[in-house]
Amino acid sequence: MEKGINSYILEKFGIEPKDVRSYSPLTLAYIGDGVYDLIIRSMVVGKGNARVNEMNRRTSEIVKAHAQSQLIGRLMPELTEEELAVYKRGRNAKSATVAKNATVVDYRRATGLEALIGYLYLQDRTERMMELILMGLDESGKGEEDALRGVDD
């Protein structure tokens, strides 16, 4: 198994790794939200210098609940049984809040995607996590280039 950033962080801070399956789906979604946001921000920044408000606008378009809901919809046929089970646990988790500007369905599906991203991240399955995100962006008709269009204009 590859050594991902999560293992590196835990090792450097002297934290014993936990069994990822013991985490609640909302805990997985919590870390997955941050990881997904960092990946998309890295893509946006990687396109070059731009005004921060423009980079933030592009990032927000990709990480908002509706976009995440569409992305997971495209990925469903590609998920393994294990990944699908993690997604469903996240989607079905009862959250105390709902995102503003999102339908309940989009918010729940986005939470499921974030739980899956968090699960893969905590297992140091970075390659699979990136494969799914790239596949989801490519199949959207918004490949990496289209998803980031206008960032460095």
Give the residue numbers marked as catalytic: 33
Spatial separation of the C-alpha atoms in residues 52 and 99, rounded to whole Å: 23
Structure tokens at 137: 């962006």
For residue 144, what are the contacts with CB-CB under 8 A and spacing of at least 6?
Answer: 43, 134, 137, 138
For residue 73, what are the contacts with CB-CB under 8 A and spacing of at least 6?
Answer: 109
Rg, C-alpha atoms of the chain: 15
Spatial separation of the C-alpha atoms in residues 19 and 37, rounded to whole Å: 24
Q: How many CB atoms lie within 10 A of CB 13?
A: 7
